[in-house]
Amino acid sequence: MPETEHPAYPVGLRLAGRRVVVVGGGTVAQRRLPALLAAGADVTLVAPAATPSVEAMAEAGELAWERRAYAEGDLADAWYALVATDDPATNAAVSAEAEARRVWCVRSDDAEAATAWTPATGRSEGVTVAVLTGRDPRRSAAVRDAVVEGLRDGTLAAPHRRARTAGVALVGGGPGDPDLITVRGRRLLADADVVVADRLGPRDLLDELPPHVEVIDAAKIPYGRAMAQEAINNALIEHAKAGKSVVRLKGGDPFVFGRGMEEAQQLADEGIPVTVVPGISSAISVPGAVGIPVTHRGVAHEFTVVSGHVAPDDPRSLVDWEALAKLRGTLVLLMAVERVGAIADTLMRHGRAADTPVAIVQEGTMATERRVDATLATVRERAEAEAVRPPAVIVIGDVVAVGE
């Protein structure tokens, strides 16, 4: 096909249940096959050999593999063909058969000899983005990535024109750094009418919300003003029943000491649809941000996350501190700054070594992040001397010293 200035005509092929022939089982086929299979195509692979990944697709029954070289007639009844061998003569022969049979054919070795081009594609929330920039695939991929990322994080305005289903999304915002919220969580925020936000949620994200979005402060500041859980539930229910899209933005993960299930149950009792969007828990991410792995080969084979919102001797405590003291792995304490001394004393009384390393990470992943190191024997005085305040994650165990 002679070079032309005419642009390619974009079209979306519906290949579900239709025969597609892929000639060649190398890395090009490995990259292209997943999209063809996701489209529901009935794929036949013609190749004497294939990469391990392509072979695994065949063994799983995702495609039919004819382990031989291409032969005239292989494109019979095909709707679409992909030629991806390293033999120019074979590629030309397949291309010629495709032309004769009027089968759209993509050639990995010679775009000008092809009758179809594969665009750089991506998907976001039911939208397929396909980009063609002639013979510059890197630019196509860059434009594709920019558009998809914009759709995912809400920076590219693409509001739904269809009626949205009212309901509540319980979104885990991660440990504090706004970049650590999930893509889905950020997208739901960009599409919300009402956001009910915790103090420990990624507050910087609220500045990005459009002016029409109503933000409700559900902050639970320790020993200060608090919005009762009942009031939070009522706010969620009221706005959802008014037909609004509501996001309950929480710090960390909604189901890790976030009372997310309580809210989900209350909403379900009211017949309100609930979407749960998991978040990155501070129990793992904050230690990792300062170079502390909660597990490490040869050091710790388990880690336990414990709420320290009540003291060990408090009758409301559900924690078996004696059992925890006997574990050899890592302990991660959340909401424990005010009780870290009592917790350390309890662990030592039940057998945990006094020189066990301890790290307190205050405001982890934020610009104000700081780390205070101690041992079980010294953590009380160190926390007081350094004026440590919530929010902070406390890590106890030998992993604390791994990164030093």
Q: Helix, strand, coil proportions of the chain in percent (round to 5)?
A: 35, 20, 45
At residue 119, the pLDDT reads 79
Domain containing 92 equals 1-118
Residue 324 and residue 269 share a domain: no
Query: Sign of dihedral through CA atoms 293, 297, 298, 300?
Result: positive
Domain assignment present for residue 126? The answer is yes
Residue 381 and residue 346 share a domain: yes
**CATH number for the domain including 185?**
3.40.1010.10
Q: Which of 74, 153, 193, 198 is catalytic?
A: 198
CB count within 10 Å of CB 128 equals: 11
Give 245's DSSP letter. Answer: E
The answer to whether the bond into 137 is cis (omega within 30° of 0) is no
**CATH number for the domain including 21?**
3.40.50.720
Residue 135 and residue 62 share a domain: no
Q: Is 386 helix (H, G, I), strand (E, B) or coil?
A: coil
Identify the domain boundary among 280, 299, 324. Answer: 280
Residue 58 and residue 137 share a domain: no
Domain assignment present for residue 160? The answer is no
Domain assignment present for residue 28? The answer is yes
Domain assignment present for residue 162? The answer is no
Q: Which of 87, 145, 220, 345 is catalytic?
A: 220
At residue 148, the pLDDT reads 79
pLDDT tens for 224-279 read 455 678 888 888 999 999 999 999 999 999 999 989 999 999 999 999 999 999 99
Domain assignment present for residue 76? The answer is yes
Give 226's DSSP letter. Answer: B
Q: How many domains does the chain have?
A: 4
To 5 degrees, how large is the angle CA 198–CA 369–CA 190?
40
At residue 114, the pLDDT reads 84
Domain assignment present for residue 53? The answer is yes
Residue 265 and residue 189 share a domain: yes
Identify the domain boundary among 280, 296, 312. Answer: 280
User: Which residue positions in the chain have pLDDT lower than 70?
Assistant: 1-5, 125-126, 134-136, 153-155, 157-165, 219-227
Q: Is 74 helix (H, G, I), strand (E, B) or coil?
A: coil
**What single string gives the DSSP state of each residue in 102-165?**
T-EEEESS-GGG-S--PPEEEEETTEEEEE--TT-HHHHHHHHHHHHHHHHHS-S-----SPPP
- Residues with Cβ within 8 Å of 359's Cβ and at least 6 positions away in sequence, in order, are 287, 290, 292, 371, 372, 373, 374, 394, 395, 400
Residue 57 and residue 10 share a domain: yes
Residue 189 and residue 107 share a domain: no
Percentage of the chain beyond pLDDT 70 is 92
CB 272 within 8 A of CB 241: yes
Q: How, if at all, do strands 274-277 and 167-172 pair?
A: parallel
Token pair 């209350």 is found at 266
Q: Which strand (E) or helix (H) includes residue 387?
A: none
Residue 311 and residue 260 share a domain: no
**Residue 318 phi, psi (nearest 5):** -105, 10
Domain assignment present for residue 214? The answer is yes
Give 75's DSSP letter. Answer: T
Residue 110 and residue 1 share a domain: yes
pLDDT tens for 31-43 read 889 989 999 999 9
Residue 187 and residue 147 share a domain: no
Q: Which strand (E) or helix (H) includes residue 399?
A: none
Q: Is 38 helix (H, G, I), strand (E, B) or coil?
A: helix
Single pTM value for the model = 0.68
At residue 215, the pLDDT reads 87
- Concerning whether 220 is annotated as a catalytic residue, the answer is yes
Residue 217 and residue 298 share a domain: no
pLDDT tens for 154-187 read 667 565 544 556 799 999 999 989 899 998 898 8
At residue 224, the pLDDT reads 46
**CATH number for the domain including 337?**
3.30.950.10
Residue 300 and residue 233 share a domain: no
Domain assignment present for residue 159? The answer is no
